[in-house]
Structure 1
Amino acid sequence: MKQLNILIFSLWVIGFVHTQEKTHVISHNGETIVTDPSKGNNSYKRWAVFPKKTKDIRSIILNLKFQCPDSIRCADWDYVDHIRARQKNDSTVYEIARMLTPYGGFFQKDWGFEWQVDVTDFSLILRNEVEIDYIHSGYEDNKTRGWKVTVDFEITYGTPIANPIAIHKIYDGSYKYGYENDPIENHLVPVTIKANSNTSFSKMKIHQTGHGMDANGCGEFCSKYRDIVFNGEVVDHKDLWMECGDNPLFPQAGTWIFDRANWCPGYLVQPDEVLLNTVSAKPFTVDLNMEPYQTDNPSANELISAFVIEYEKANAANDVTLVDIIQPSTRVMHSRKNPFGGLPVIRVKNNGSQPLKKMTIVYHLEGEKPQKYQWEGDVGFGEETLIVLPTEVFSKKDTAQFHVALERPNGKRDAFSTDNLGQSTYQRPNILPETIIVYYKTNNKPGQNTYAIKNSFGDIAFEKDSIDMKPSTVYLDTIKLNPGNYNFKFNDTAGDGLEFWFKARAGRGEVKLLDSLGRAIKQFKSDFGSHINYYFTVRDDMPYELDNKPSIAVFPARTSGPITLDYFSNTPANVKVLIVDQESESKILEEHNYHNFSKGPLDYNLSYLPKQRYYIKVYVEGEEIYKNRIRLKE
């Protein structure tokens, strides 16, 4: 009977997959992007052919991939990049996406990362021949640094959630902020639009990031609010601030942990969306108001592009979409929460005109019996919600496909069921023994750190706060666990991890999980930002695994000369350490060899070298396994 259930479910899944037609339009395919220091921006215009206007589009997801270029290094700075679209024979240009580039100084040749943003609201203009312009800003050297960029539009065909009628550009520019004699509201003026006779509702879509640096840190490093005003009433209020210490792209070479004005380094902006209750054939007014602000010697800028899209009424009363599977997943955007064993987490969106009150969710790992969950809640039209499914997932396989299907929204047939189903790749979490040792060496700020181990249902197996902890001290906690799925969460309230190059005075700490013999079963990077989030499983029918890759770290990254290389490995080996010139790696400044070496700090003093950047490389049994940058400063 179990096999029959799985077979029926699998055939049902295949039917869904076959009815969801997709295509990809790639405007930039692994192109090397560099700055133009003479202008501060560099334009890469490419023509792409999108579906004809007669073809119904259900969704358009922009996939943006960054890699290190083949012949030069990854770029260093957090610059603002724009992706703009212009239809053939039309002069109007639309910013459809905005990227804030990462600090790439640490990234090696095999590095890559991918982001996504929904650009379906621009489906009116992403038709036929379209010029896609990738604009890379900045002034850094363009001969030795850059990015390899792929811009991929993933288009799913099918009945739209609602038919778009018109798109209006409301604001588009860099607006000076903080000027007493020229306040920003002189430029962010109200805009009045007459709705189309078929318009049922409208959506305001906003890209906004703060830049510049005055005495108060504005606009990049200061928190200000913004109001969206519709027909004279505030319909949306937002604090333009983003915490960066939990960025899934970590660590980075620069100040990636510092919170910023609605963006972080290494981040594809997720635009704000505000639904407007417009009335057909009636004029309406929209306005964007910034928090009042004035300062001496202002230099802040609010970079804003905003659009209003008019829509006909929603095409269905009951229409739910599976937007994403967050756990389990192998997507790099979810890497802080995976690999994973425990209660799955999904994101769904209500695309029906009726509030979503209930539905059935069917889910399972391949080869296992499907589970059914009768979900209840209240999600309005156009809104999204996270749902935690009530049954744990675990497979003895290294990987398996995880399937989810949404059924019967509000007890009714879903009008467009092709986007009700999805799958992700499950990676089995590490198997740990029943007895583990938490090795925690504090840095100079132990009061910022706490940690806990909880099972999937939130029950605490062990927790430790910072009371009575001393700086630069090793603490060992031996913990006995029952079989099950667990999460080890290590928090840093300052968001700067146990080390950060900009805060060298805070020192460096370490966290590892050891077995009862003192061998590493999991070693964590100390430059982790706000938290470590590690899922594992304890089993009495499977052997646990050791973390046999050597843990290597160098601190500080900026130094007047002294540095320490911390090395920890379960296996003694022949280790070689090289100090080389960054721009000419064949130029070896120092070489150190250690025989039958397994753990310990290694101290060097480079104060005699010229004040510039270097690489420190570590070879184990002749293989390069570590490379990082050191900056010698005055």
Structure 2
Amino acid sequence: MRKHFYVLLCALFIGYGAQASPGDTTWVQAHYDKWLDYYNNFDTTVTFPNGSVTYRKIYMIFTLGKYQCPGNPQYCGDWDYTITNYLMTPSGDTLELARLISPYANAGAPHTPWSWTQRYIYDVTDYYPVLKNSATMRILYSGYSGGFTANVKFAFIEGTPDRDVKGITRLWNGSFGYGNAIPIDTNFQSVNETAPTGTQSTDLKLTITGHGSDNNQCCEFLSRYYEVMLNNNQVAHTDIWRNDCGLNDLYPQSGTWLYERANWCPGALVRPNYHNLPGIVAGNNFDVEINFQPYTGNGGGSYTTEAQLFYHGSMNKTVDASLDDIIAPTNYEGSFRANPVCGSPTIHVKNTGATAITSIHFQYGAENEPVTDYTWNGNLNSLQDTIITLPHLPYLDTISDNNLHKFTTKIMEVNGNADDDATNNTMSSYFMPAPLWPSQFLVQMKTNSETDQQGNCETTWQIFDQSNNVVAQRITSSINTIYTDTVFLPRGCYKMVVKDGSCDGLHWWVWDQVGGVTAGYIQIKKLPFGTISLNGNVNSGTYHDDFGCGFNQYFTTQGFGVGVENLSATPASVAAYPNPAQSAVTVSISGIANISGTVSLVDALGRTVLTQNCNSTTAILNVANLANGMYTVIYSDRANAEAKLQTRLLIAK
């Protein structure tokens, strides 16, 4: 299940986020800030709608928070515990709706103070047949210390669902040892089922996470696989693994958050696996089972599982696209790494009709600003989804305040015409602008002792302009070395990308305790003094530069000019990159309507060592034969010899 289901229907309660299109919404509160104080079931009675109305979407919003444990125990909100949400109906149905793993959330960590909360949003629309009338919601908290709170509510959005659900069957569930003398497969033996009337497709949903550790670190830290068998034929082969924990949106954490694990990450919702059972329609009798990878250990590990069959009817719409999420710009903490953003918005779209989609016409823009039109072309089959990066939105580059702004995108046409359902065509988000940086700054990086395969430092940084050109970078560095690079940038939107090969940042508190890896850092320095904050990164203390696999930092600059007169009504500027340079330098000129002049390099003694004509916004200078040192780059306009732009360039080979 994708993490991006954030709808502004939630904003009725929380004030910001993304907003789905019109449609009456019924809110149902289950648990309200319940203290999860120890391993236990926490039950509450819920009254859902009576089933007389159809719903386009049903979301479950689980808000995890913290409380200060009475008595000052050793641990309080510190550990990665499994939190499972069950629906229990009066007729005896018990179904797992959702699962998440709590983060390492010590109150001393920078992003998890006592006031911290995080929302985990699940699409539970397919459970509509049982989300009716009176029921019990259960939270199973598998924790041996307290400190967390749980708030659970449901949003029922009226409308037509993508498909009707004809039936739900719970197959296998429970936690089972793996690698023991008794194979785990004995708990997942073949089940015979018959698809109910109206079934057009059948899907197996399997939620599985590995826990515990044996002599091979199975199951939490050892990748294994399972196979889905339909009528003795394999229809799926899936690794029980997540390799993206080092890209967690909640970072840094006060534990081993960045390690890859058996289909879960601390502080993240658990993604179920969905497997279509091909050819299973109404009246078909079939056998389904799960076979695990053969394995022998010493019995210390287990898999926690929940398997359910969903029988779906035919598609309710012929041609329809749904806006499911605004990934950027948004203030939703579940998209923290992608925000704040300048330049181009990013959205998540799904084909919710029976017909393949080849084009979608969008309109998008900020509140009270002109809208932009864009037509996406591609191929999106029924029920497929995709992430679309919309073309550059200039407004995102021009705002630099500390206020909330509203962004809206709308589907206007699908395949050249209005689609079947207008209620899923509009979505809005609230967001903070990308920060404004000076046009000249320093990137200072102290490398640690971890190397890549070539023996260089495994941590790199690059800055990209709006056209995805690299304008500054340090991708080859020695270990345990401080590098200070001067960056000059014209007015525009930029993205700084920091990557770490081992996904443990430039510093991790674990290495401070066990040794073996030195500590590094990366900082942005203002001139003449001062430090600029980086997205999610911490500059000091226990958790400094603990950013896992890396991070992105979007920012804007206003540009600058020196001695410029009457060149343009727009502020003019010149920049040179890479800086420092070794062989070739790109000189970029902005803010001048008609460029016609020369670009020169002047050394520290005032001697002009290179001059060439410049009739476009960029010029490439060959500096391979020039001596190391500081130079001045000067653009001189032919129409006005007194008008000049200049910047500084360091040549260091």
TM-score range, shorter chain: 0.7 to 0.9
Shift of the alpha carbon at 1:52?
1.1
The AA in structure 1 aligned to 2:282 is: S
More divergent stretch after superposition (302-311 vs 411-420): 411-420
**Offset at residue 493 of structure 1 (A):** 1.0
Contact 2:444 2:522 (C-alpha < 8 Å) held by counterparts: yes
Q: 1:237 aligns to what?
A: 237
Structural mapping, 1:414-563, within 5 Å: 414-445=419-450, 447-467=457-477, 469-471=478-480, 473-504=481-512, 505=515, 506-523=517-534, 524-525=537-538, 526-540=545-559
For the 8 Å contact 2:263–2:271, the answer to whether it is kept is no
Which of 1 and 2 has greater Rg? 2
| One-letter identity of the residue aligned with 1:109 | W
Tell me which of 31, 34, 39 is aligned to 2:37. 34
Shift of 1:192: 2.0
C-alpha distance in 1 between matches for 2:213 and 2:21: 52
Instruction: State the match for 2:128 in structure 1.
Output: 123
State the aligned residue count: 514
Q: Please state whether the residue corresponding to 1:408 is helix, strand or coil.
A: strand
1:65 Cα offset (Å) = 0.9
Cα gap change, 1:121 to 1:268, in 2 (>3 Å): same
Question: 280-289 or 68-77: which moved more?
Answer: 68-77
Once residues 335 and 19 of structure 1 are traced to their aligned partners in structure 2, the CA distance between those partners, rounded to angstroms, is 26
CA separation of 1:175 and 1:355: change in aligned 2, threshold 3 A: farther
Structure with greater strand share of residues: 1
Query: What is the letter of the counterpart of residue 131 of structure 2?
Result: L
Deviations 1:378-409 (A, max 9, x none): 22222211011112341425432111111322
Query: How far has the Cα of 1:136 moved from its partner?
Result: 0.6
CA-to-partner distance for each residue in 1:150-192, whole Å, 9 max, x for gaps?
Answer: 112122111111111110001111122122x321222211222
Q: 1:478 to 1:423 in 2, by over 3 A?
A: same
Alpha-carbon distance, 1:67 to partner = 1.4
2:595 aligned partner? none
**1:88-139 Cα shifts (integer Å, max 9, x gaps):** 2x22211111111111223322212111111112111111111000111122
Q: For each residue in 1:224-258, what CA deviation from the matched residue of structure 2 results, as whole angstroms up to 9, or x when unmatched?
A: 12222333433333222112111111111111111
Counterpart of 2:312 in 1: which secondary structure?
strand
Equivalent residues in 2 for 1:130-529, closer than 5 Å: 130-140=135-145, 145-179=146-180, 181-242=181-242, 243-277=244-278, 278-295=280-297, 297-393=298-394, 394=396, 395-396=398-399, 398-445=403-450, 447-467=457-477, 469-471=478-480, 473-504=481-512, 505=515, 506-523=517-534, 524-525=537-538, 526-529=545-548
**Contact map agreement 2:434 2:555 (CA 8 A) in 1:** yes
Aligned to 1:23: 26
The answer to whether the 8 A contact 1:117-1:270 is kept is no
Partner of 1:391: helix, strand, or coil? coil
After superposition, give the CA deviation of every residue in 1:286-339 in whole Å (9 maximum; x if it has no partner): 2222222223x1222111101011121111111211111001110001111111
1:586 aligned residue: none
Q: 1:286 and 1:186 mapped to 2: Cα distance?
A: 14
In the alignment, the residues of structure 1 paired with residue 392 and residue 238 of structure 2 have an alpha-carbon distance, to the nearest angstrom, of 36
SS in 1 for 2:365: strand
2:245 counterpart SS class: coil
Q: Whole-Å Cα distance in 2 between the matches of residues 193 and 357 of structure 1?
A: 37
Distance 1:276 1:409, change over 3 A: farther
Partner Cα distance (1:401, 1:533) in 2? 22
Matched residue of 1:411: which SS? Answer: coil
- The residue identity in structure 1 corresponding to 2:124 is V
Q: How many Å apart are 1:522 and its aligned residue?
A: 2.6
Greater shift after overlay, 78-87 or 502-511? 502-511
Task: Give the distance between the partners of 1:18 and 1:345, measured in 2 at CA.
Answer: 18
The percent identity for this pair of structures is 30
Residue matched to 2:49:
51
Q: Is 1:318–1:412's contact at 8 Å kept on the other side of the alignment?
A: no
Aligned-pair CA distance for 1:373:
1.2
Q: For 1:34, give the aligned amino acid.
A: D
Calculate the TM-score normalised by the size of structure 1.
0.78
**Amino acid paired to 2:288:** V
**Alignment root-mean-square deviation, CA:** 2.0
1:284 maps to a residue whose letter is F
Q: Deviation string for 1:56-80 (max 9, x for gaps)?
A: 0111111111111156584111111
Change (3 A) 1:51 1:536: same
Rounded Cα–Cα distance in structure 1 between residues aligned with 2:249 and 2:21: 33
Q: Equivalents in 1 of 2:350, 2:467: separation in Å?
A: 25
Deviates more, 1:357-366 or 1:277-286: 277-286
Distance 1:409 1:239 in 2: 36
The 3 A distance-change label for structure 1 pair 44 and 17 is: closer
Question: 2-side partners of 1:380 and 1:206: how far apart?
Answer: 23
Distance 1:391 1:211, change over 3 A: same
Which secondary structure state, in structure 2, belongs to the residue aligned with residue 268 of structure 1? Answer: coil
Query: Residue 548 of structure 2 aligns to which amino acid in structure 1?
Result: G
- Quick check: 2:68–2:147 contact (8 Å CA) kept in 1? no
Give the secondary-structure state (helix, strand or coil) at the position aligned to 2:98.
strand
Provide the secondary structure at the position in 2 that maps to 1:503.
Answer: helix
**Separation in 2 of the partners of 1:432 and 1:400?**
19
- Out of 81, 84, 97, the residue aligned to residue 82 of structure 1 is 84
- C-alpha displacement at 1:340, in angstroms? 0.8
Alignment-derived partner of residue 598 in structure 2 = none
Output the CA distance in 2 between the equivalents of 1:537 and 1:111. 29
- Kept in 1, the 8 Å contact 2:21–2:427? The answer is no
CA distance in 2, matches of 1:522, 1:313: 51
CA distance in 2: counterparts of 1:382 and 1:192, whole angstroms: 27
Q: Deviation string for 1:569-616 (max 9, x for gaps)?
A: xxxxxxxxxxxxxxxxxxxxxxxxxxxxxxxxxxxxxxxxxxxxxxxx
AA in 2 matched with 1:501: W
For 2:347 and 2:186, how far apart are their aligned partners in 1? 43
Aligned partners of 1:225 and 1:18: how far apart in 2? 40
Q: Is the 8 A contact 2:372 2:393 kept in 1?
A: no
